[in-house]
A = this chain, B = another copy of it.
Amino acid sequence: MSVKERRPPFYLGIDLGGTNVKSGVVDDDGRSLSSVSLETHASRGPEAGVATLAEAGREAVEASGLSWGEIAGVGLGTPGTMDIPAGMLLEPPNLPGWDHFPVRDRLAEVLRARTILQNDANAAAYGEYWAGAGRGVRSLVLFTMGTGIGGGIVEDGRIIEGRNSHGGECGHIIIQMENGRQCGCGGYGHLEAYASATALVKRAIEALEQSDESTALRRHLAAGTLTARSINEASLANDPLAARLMRETAHYLAVGAVCVMHTINPDLVLFGGGMSNAGPEFIDLIREGVKRMAFPLPASHTKIDYATLGGDAGYIGAAGCARMAFGADSGG
Protein backbone atom coordinates (compact mmCIF):
# COMPACT_ATOMS: atom_id res chain seq x y z
CA MET A 1 0.00 0.00 0.00
CA SER A 2 1.47 3.35 -0.95
CA VAL A 3 1.71 6.14 1.57
CA LYS A 4 -0.75 8.14 -0.52
CA GLU A 5 -3.52 5.60 0.10
CA ARG A 6 -3.17 5.80 3.87
CA ARG A 7 -5.75 8.01 5.41
CA PRO A 8 -4.83 9.74 8.68
CA PRO A 9 -5.36 9.81 11.59
CA PHE A 10 -3.90 6.43 12.51
CA TYR A 11 -4.69 4.22 15.50
CA LEU A 12 -2.83 1.39 17.17
CA GLY A 13 -4.89 -1.69 18.03
CA ILE A 14 -3.67 -4.41 20.41
CA ASP A 15 -5.54 -7.68 21.00
CA LEU A 16 -4.48 -9.55 24.13
CA GLY A 17 -5.26 -13.26 24.01
CA GLY A 18 -4.38 -16.05 26.40
CA THR A 19 -1.80 -17.36 23.90
CA ASN A 20 -0.85 -14.47 21.59
CA VAL A 21 -0.82 -10.71 21.48
CA LYS A 22 -1.74 -9.36 18.06
CA SER A 23 -1.19 -5.74 17.19
CA GLY A 24 -1.43 -3.48 14.19
CA VAL A 25 -1.68 0.10 13.00
CA VAL A 26 -4.97 0.95 11.31
CA ASP A 27 -5.86 3.99 9.24
CA ASP A 28 -9.00 6.11 9.47
CA ASP A 29 -10.82 3.83 7.02
CA GLY A 30 -10.09 0.67 9.01
CA ARG A 31 -7.27 -0.54 6.76
CA SER A 32 -4.46 -2.38 8.50
CA LEU A 33 -0.98 -0.99 7.79
CA SER A 34 0.92 -3.54 9.84
CA SER A 35 0.35 -6.70 11.81
CA VAL A 36 2.49 -8.21 14.56
CA SER A 37 2.04 -11.29 16.74
CA LEU A 38 3.95 -12.12 19.93
CA GLU A 39 3.50 -14.83 22.54
CA THR A 40 1.57 -13.64 25.59
CA HIS A 41 3.28 -15.73 28.28
CA ALA A 42 0.30 -14.90 30.47
CA SER A 43 1.68 -16.87 33.41
CA ARG A 44 4.54 -14.39 33.82
CA GLY A 45 1.97 -11.99 35.27
CA PRO A 46 0.52 -8.63 34.39
CA GLU A 47 3.61 -6.38 34.52
CA ALA A 48 5.53 -8.65 32.16
CA GLY A 49 2.35 -8.78 30.13
CA VAL A 50 2.19 -5.00 29.81
CA ALA A 51 5.78 -5.04 28.58
CA THR A 52 4.74 -7.56 25.91
CA LEU A 53 1.69 -5.49 24.94
CA ALA A 54 3.92 -2.42 24.61
CA GLU A 55 6.52 -4.35 22.60
CA ALA A 56 3.83 -5.62 20.21
CA GLY A 57 2.55 -2.06 19.85
CA ARG A 58 6.00 -0.62 19.17
CA GLU A 59 6.77 -3.30 16.59
CA ALA A 60 3.45 -2.63 14.86
CA VAL A 61 4.16 1.11 14.69
CA GLU A 62 7.66 0.45 13.39
CA ALA A 63 6.37 -2.00 10.78
CA SER A 64 3.82 0.57 9.60
CA GLY A 65 6.56 3.06 8.78
CA LEU A 66 4.81 5.73 10.84
CA SER A 67 6.21 7.63 13.80
CA TRP A 68 4.59 7.54 17.25
CA GLY A 69 3.55 11.15 16.81
CA GLU A 70 1.24 10.05 14.02
CA ILE A 71 -0.66 7.61 16.28
CA ALA A 72 -3.82 9.33 17.54
CA GLY A 73 -4.63 6.75 20.18
CA VAL A 74 -4.36 3.14 21.32
CA GLY A 75 -7.15 0.58 21.66
CA LEU A 76 -6.61 -2.55 23.76
CA GLY A 77 -8.91 -5.58 23.61
CA THR A 78 -8.71 -8.17 26.37
CA PRO A 79 -10.64 -11.27 27.41
CA GLY A 80 -13.12 -10.85 30.33
CA THR A 81 -14.06 -10.35 33.07
CA MET A 82 -13.40 -6.63 33.25
CA ASP A 83 -14.69 -3.18 34.06
CA ILE A 84 -14.51 -1.44 30.70
CA PRO A 85 -15.11 2.18 31.83
CA ALA A 86 -12.52 1.78 34.63
CA GLY A 87 -9.99 0.14 32.28
CA MET A 88 -9.59 -2.72 34.78
CA LEU A 89 -9.31 -6.44 34.38
CA LEU A 90 -11.34 -8.17 37.10
CA GLU A 91 -10.93 -11.96 37.15
CA PRO A 92 -10.08 -13.00 33.57
CA PRO A 93 -10.09 -16.84 33.45
CA ASN A 94 -7.44 -16.99 30.70
CA LEU A 95 -5.03 -14.58 32.38
CA PRO A 96 -4.29 -16.17 35.76
CA GLY A 97 -2.69 -13.73 38.18
CA TRP A 98 -3.91 -10.64 36.33
CA ASP A 99 -6.86 -10.14 38.70
CA HIS A 100 -7.94 -6.56 39.37
CA PHE A 101 -5.13 -5.18 37.24
CA PRO A 102 -5.52 -1.63 35.82
CA VAL A 103 -4.27 -2.74 32.41
CA ARG A 104 -5.44 0.31 30.46
CA ASP A 105 -3.68 2.89 32.59
CA ARG A 106 -0.50 0.83 32.95
CA LEU A 107 -0.25 0.40 29.19
CA ALA A 108 -0.96 4.11 28.67
CA GLU A 109 1.91 4.95 31.05
CA VAL A 110 4.37 2.63 29.35
CA LEU A 111 3.43 3.72 25.82
CA ARG A 112 2.88 7.36 26.85
CA ALA A 113 -0.23 7.34 24.68
CA ARG A 114 -3.92 7.73 25.43
CA THR A 115 -5.43 4.27 25.58
CA ILE A 116 -8.90 2.76 25.87
CA LEU A 117 -9.92 -0.75 26.96
CA GLN A 118 -12.56 -2.91 25.33
CA ASN A 119 -13.68 -6.53 25.69
CA ASP A 120 -11.91 -8.53 22.96
CA ALA A 121 -15.11 -10.00 21.47
CA ASN A 122 -16.80 -6.59 21.49
CA ALA A 123 -13.73 -5.20 19.74
CA ALA A 124 -13.89 -7.95 17.11
CA ALA A 125 -17.57 -7.17 16.52
CA TYR A 126 -16.71 -3.50 16.13
CA GLY A 127 -13.88 -4.39 13.76
CA GLU A 128 -16.27 -6.32 11.51
CA TYR A 129 -18.76 -3.43 11.71
CA TRP A 130 -16.18 -0.83 10.83
CA ALA A 131 -13.92 -2.60 8.38
CA GLY A 132 -15.16 -6.14 7.74
CA ALA A 133 -18.31 -8.03 6.82
CA GLY A 134 -20.43 -5.36 8.50
CA ARG A 135 -19.27 -2.32 6.54
CA GLY A 136 -22.32 -0.16 5.88
CA VAL A 137 -24.77 -1.84 8.27
CA ARG A 138 -26.30 -0.06 11.23
CA SER A 139 -26.21 -2.97 13.66
CA LEU A 140 -24.74 -6.44 13.94
CA VAL A 141 -24.23 -9.30 16.34
CA LEU A 142 -21.05 -11.38 16.08
CA PHE A 143 -20.74 -14.93 17.43
CA THR A 144 -17.11 -16.11 17.55
CA MET A 145 -16.71 -19.86 17.72
CA GLY A 146 -13.64 -21.41 19.27
CA THR A 147 -12.98 -23.07 22.60
CA GLY A 148 -16.02 -21.11 23.74
CA ILE A 149 -18.48 -18.84 21.99
CA GLY A 150 -17.77 -15.16 22.37
CA GLY A 151 -19.97 -12.38 21.18
CA GLY A 152 -20.30 -8.71 20.55
CA ILE A 153 -23.17 -6.40 19.68
CA VAL A 154 -22.94 -3.17 17.73
CA GLU A 155 -26.17 -1.20 17.67
CA ASP A 156 -26.46 2.06 15.75
CA GLY A 157 -22.67 2.25 15.66
CA ARG A 158 -22.21 1.76 19.41
CA ILE A 159 -21.02 -1.31 21.30
CA ILE A 160 -23.50 -2.60 23.88
CA GLU A 161 -21.06 -2.89 26.79
CA GLY A 162 -23.68 -3.42 29.47
CA ARG A 163 -23.90 -2.52 33.14
CA ASN A 164 -21.12 -4.93 34.20
CA SER A 165 -19.21 -5.10 30.92
CA HIS A 166 -21.16 -8.31 30.23
CA GLY A 167 -22.92 -7.06 27.09
CA GLY A 168 -22.75 -9.40 24.11
CA GLU A 169 -21.94 -12.57 26.07
CA CYS A 170 -24.08 -14.28 23.46
CA GLY A 171 -22.53 -17.71 24.00
CA HIS A 172 -24.19 -17.77 27.40
CA ILE A 173 -27.83 -17.36 26.50
CA ILE A 174 -29.87 -20.34 27.68
CA ILE A 175 -31.29 -22.25 24.70
CA GLN A 176 -32.14 -25.47 26.54
CA MET A 177 -33.43 -24.85 30.05
CA GLU A 178 -34.48 -28.44 30.79
CA ASN A 179 -31.75 -31.10 30.83
CA GLY A 180 -29.31 -28.70 29.23
CA ARG A 181 -25.66 -29.55 28.66
CA GLN A 182 -23.18 -28.06 31.10
CA CYS A 183 -21.19 -25.13 29.77
CA GLY A 184 -17.50 -24.42 30.31
CA CYS A 185 -18.61 -21.56 32.57
CA GLY A 186 -20.49 -23.96 34.86
CA GLY A 187 -23.99 -22.95 33.74
CA TYR A 188 -26.45 -25.24 31.98
CA GLY A 189 -28.07 -25.17 28.56
CA HIS A 190 -25.95 -22.32 27.19
CA LEU A 191 -25.44 -21.96 23.44
CA GLU A 192 -21.69 -22.45 23.99
CA ALA A 193 -22.31 -25.87 25.56
CA TYR A 194 -23.86 -27.00 22.27
CA ALA A 195 -22.16 -25.15 19.45
CA SER A 196 -18.57 -24.22 20.34
CA ALA A 197 -15.73 -26.11 18.65
CA THR A 198 -15.12 -27.83 22.00
CA ALA A 199 -18.77 -28.84 22.28
CA LEU A 200 -18.78 -30.18 18.73
CA VAL A 201 -15.84 -32.48 19.49
CA LYS A 202 -17.48 -33.56 22.75
CA ARG A 203 -20.74 -34.39 20.99
CA ALA A 204 -18.77 -36.37 18.38
CA ILE A 205 -17.08 -38.44 21.09
CA GLU A 206 -20.46 -39.13 22.73
CA ALA A 207 -21.92 -40.24 19.40
CA LEU A 208 -18.95 -42.55 18.78
CA GLU A 209 -19.40 -44.10 22.22
CA GLN A 210 -23.09 -44.70 21.59
CA SER A 211 -22.85 -46.50 18.24
CA ASP A 212 -20.67 -48.79 16.17
CA GLU A 213 -21.27 -46.71 13.07
CA SER A 214 -18.37 -46.75 10.64
CA THR A 215 -17.15 -43.20 10.30
CA ALA A 216 -14.01 -41.25 9.58
CA LEU A 217 -14.45 -39.68 13.00
CA ARG A 218 -13.57 -42.94 14.75
CA ARG A 219 -10.22 -42.94 12.96
CA HIS A 220 -9.67 -39.29 13.86
CA LEU A 221 -10.45 -40.09 17.50
CA ALA A 222 -7.93 -42.95 17.52
CA ALA A 223 -5.31 -40.78 15.80
CA GLY A 224 -5.85 -37.80 18.11
CA THR A 225 -6.99 -35.65 15.18
CA LEU A 226 -10.65 -35.28 16.10
CA THR A 227 -11.21 -31.50 15.86
CA ALA A 228 -13.97 -29.18 14.69
CA ARG A 229 -12.00 -28.84 11.48
CA SER A 230 -11.64 -32.57 10.84
CA ILE A 231 -15.34 -33.10 11.63
CA ASN A 232 -16.26 -30.43 9.10
CA GLU A 233 -13.94 -31.95 6.49
CA ALA A 234 -15.47 -35.39 7.06
CA SER A 235 -18.91 -33.83 6.69
CA LEU A 236 -17.92 -32.27 3.36
CA ALA A 237 -16.70 -35.75 2.31
CA ASN A 238 -20.22 -37.07 3.09
CA ASP A 239 -19.43 -38.93 6.30
CA PRO A 240 -22.96 -39.43 7.70
CA LEU A 241 -22.16 -38.94 11.41
CA ALA A 242 -20.02 -35.87 10.72
CA ALA A 243 -22.75 -34.45 8.49
CA ARG A 244 -25.33 -34.94 11.23
CA LEU A 245 -23.09 -33.26 13.82
CA MET A 246 -22.53 -30.26 11.55
CA ARG A 247 -26.28 -30.00 10.81
CA GLU A 248 -27.01 -30.02 14.54
CA THR A 249 -24.33 -27.41 15.19
CA ALA A 250 -25.82 -25.17 12.51
CA HIS A 251 -29.25 -25.64 14.10
CA TYR A 252 -27.96 -24.59 17.53
CA LEU A 253 -26.31 -21.52 16.03
CA ALA A 254 -29.53 -20.68 14.20
CA VAL A 255 -31.36 -20.83 17.56
CA GLY A 256 -28.81 -18.37 18.94
CA ALA A 257 -29.24 -16.12 15.90
CA VAL A 258 -33.04 -16.16 16.28
CA CYS A 259 -32.73 -15.15 19.94
CA VAL A 260 -30.70 -12.05 19.08
CA MET A 261 -32.94 -11.34 16.06
CA HIS A 262 -35.95 -11.28 18.40
CA THR A 263 -34.27 -8.95 20.89
CA ILE A 264 -31.74 -6.74 19.07
CA ASN A 265 -33.14 -7.41 15.58
CA PRO A 266 -29.85 -6.40 13.93
CA ASP A 267 -29.16 -5.88 10.24
CA LEU A 268 -26.57 -8.64 10.27
CA VAL A 269 -25.62 -11.73 12.29
CA LEU A 270 -22.01 -12.82 11.80
CA PHE A 271 -20.22 -16.04 12.66
CA GLY A 272 -16.49 -15.78 13.23
CA GLY A 273 -13.67 -17.70 14.86
CA GLY A 274 -12.37 -21.04 13.62
CA MET A 275 -15.74 -22.13 12.26
CA SER A 276 -15.80 -19.22 9.83
CA ASN A 277 -13.67 -21.44 7.55
CA ALA A 278 -16.32 -24.17 7.50
CA GLY A 279 -17.46 -23.22 4.02
CA PRO A 280 -20.67 -22.21 2.26
CA GLU A 281 -22.63 -25.39 3.13
CA PHE A 282 -22.42 -24.69 6.85
CA ILE A 283 -23.53 -21.05 6.72
CA ASP A 284 -26.37 -22.12 4.41
CA LEU A 285 -27.52 -24.61 7.06
CA ILE A 286 -27.57 -21.79 9.63
CA ARG A 287 -29.53 -19.60 7.20
CA GLU A 288 -32.09 -22.37 6.66
CA GLY A 289 -32.56 -22.77 10.40
CA VAL A 290 -33.06 -19.04 10.81
CA LYS A 291 -35.62 -18.92 8.00
CA ARG A 292 -37.51 -21.79 9.65
CA MET A 293 -37.53 -20.33 13.18
CA ALA A 294 -37.45 -16.51 13.02
CA PHE A 295 -40.40 -14.17 12.53
CA PRO A 296 -41.04 -13.57 8.83
CA LEU A 297 -39.70 -9.99 8.62
CA PRO A 298 -36.34 -10.54 10.35
CA ALA A 299 -36.12 -13.96 8.64
CA SER A 300 -36.20 -12.30 5.23
CA HIS A 301 -34.22 -9.14 6.03
CA THR A 302 -31.46 -10.17 8.42
CA LYS A 303 -28.23 -11.05 6.66
CA ILE A 304 -26.47 -14.14 8.04
CA ASP A 305 -22.81 -14.43 7.09
CA TYR A 306 -19.29 -15.29 8.08
CA ALA A 307 -17.02 -12.67 9.58
CA THR A 308 -14.24 -11.70 7.17
CA LEU A 309 -11.40 -10.20 9.23
CA GLY A 310 -10.36 -13.51 10.82
CA GLY A 311 -7.74 -13.12 13.55
CA ASP A 312 -7.24 -9.44 12.68
CA ALA A 313 -10.75 -8.43 13.81
CA GLY A 314 -9.64 -7.93 17.41
CA TYR A 315 -6.84 -5.42 16.90
CA ILE A 316 -8.61 -3.66 14.02
CA GLY A 317 -11.71 -3.31 16.18
CA ALA A 318 -9.65 -2.14 19.16
CA ALA A 319 -8.11 0.51 16.91
CA GLY A 320 -11.66 1.44 15.84
CA CYS A 321 -12.64 1.84 19.49
CA ALA A 322 -9.67 4.19 19.96
CA ARG A 323 -10.94 6.12 16.93
CA MET A 324 -14.39 6.37 18.55
CA ALA A 325 -12.84 7.54 21.82
CA PHE A 326 -10.12 9.86 20.52
CA GLY A 327 -10.99 10.61 16.89
CA ALA A 328 -11.98 13.96 15.41
CA ASP A 329 -15.71 13.21 15.78
CA SER A 330 -15.45 12.05 19.37
CA GLY A 331 -14.92 15.44 20.97
CA GLY A 332 -11.96 13.68 22.66
Q: Interface residues, chain A, CB within 8 Å of chain B?
A: 81, 90, 138-139, 151, 153, 155-156, 158, 160-170, 172-178, 185, 187-188, 251-252, 255, 258-267, 293, 295, 297-298, 301-302
Of the residues B156, B163, B176, B263, contact of A176 by C-beta under 8 Å? B176
Q: Contact between A172 and B262 (Cβ–Cβ < 8 Å)?
A: yes
Q: Contact between B160 and A264 (Cβ–Cβ < 8 Å)?
A: yes
Most buried by B among A138, A158, A167: A167
Copies in the complex: 2
Of the residues B160, B172, B251, B298, contact of A164 by C-beta under 8 Å? B298
Of the residues B139, B187, B259, B302, contact of A173 by C-beta under 8 Å? B259
Nearest CB of B to A121, in Å: 12
Provide 26 A-B residue pairs closer than 8 Å at the C-beta atoms, listed in order of the A residue.
Answer: A81-B297, A151-B263, A153-B263, A155-B160, A156-B158, A160-B264, A161-B265, A162-B265, A162-B266, A163-B265, A163-B298, A164-B295, A164-B298, A165-B265, A165-B297, A166-B262, A167-B263, A170-B262, A173-B258, A173-B262, A174-B259, A174-B293, A176-B176, A176-B178, A185-B295, A187-B293
Cβ-closest chain B residue relative to A292: B187
Compute how far the CA of A156 lies from the CA of B156 in the bound complex, rounded to whole angstroms.
Answer: 12
Compute how far the CA of A252 lies from the CA of B260 in the bound complex, rounded to whole angstroms.
Answer: 18
Q: Contact between B263 and A168 (Cβ–Cβ < 8 Å)?
A: yes
Cβ-closest chain B residue relative to A302: B163
For A260, list chain B residues within 8 Å (CB). Answer: 263
Q: Contact between B166 and A261 (Cβ–Cβ < 8 Å)?
A: yes
Of the residues B161, B188, B252, B264, contact of A177 by C-beta under 8 Å? B252
Cβ-closest chain B residue relative to A167: B265
Cβ-closest chain B residue relative to A90: B297
Compute how far the CA of A174 lies from the CA of B165 in the bound complex, rounded to whole angstroms.
Answer: 24
For A251, list chain B residues within 8 Å (CB). Answer: 177
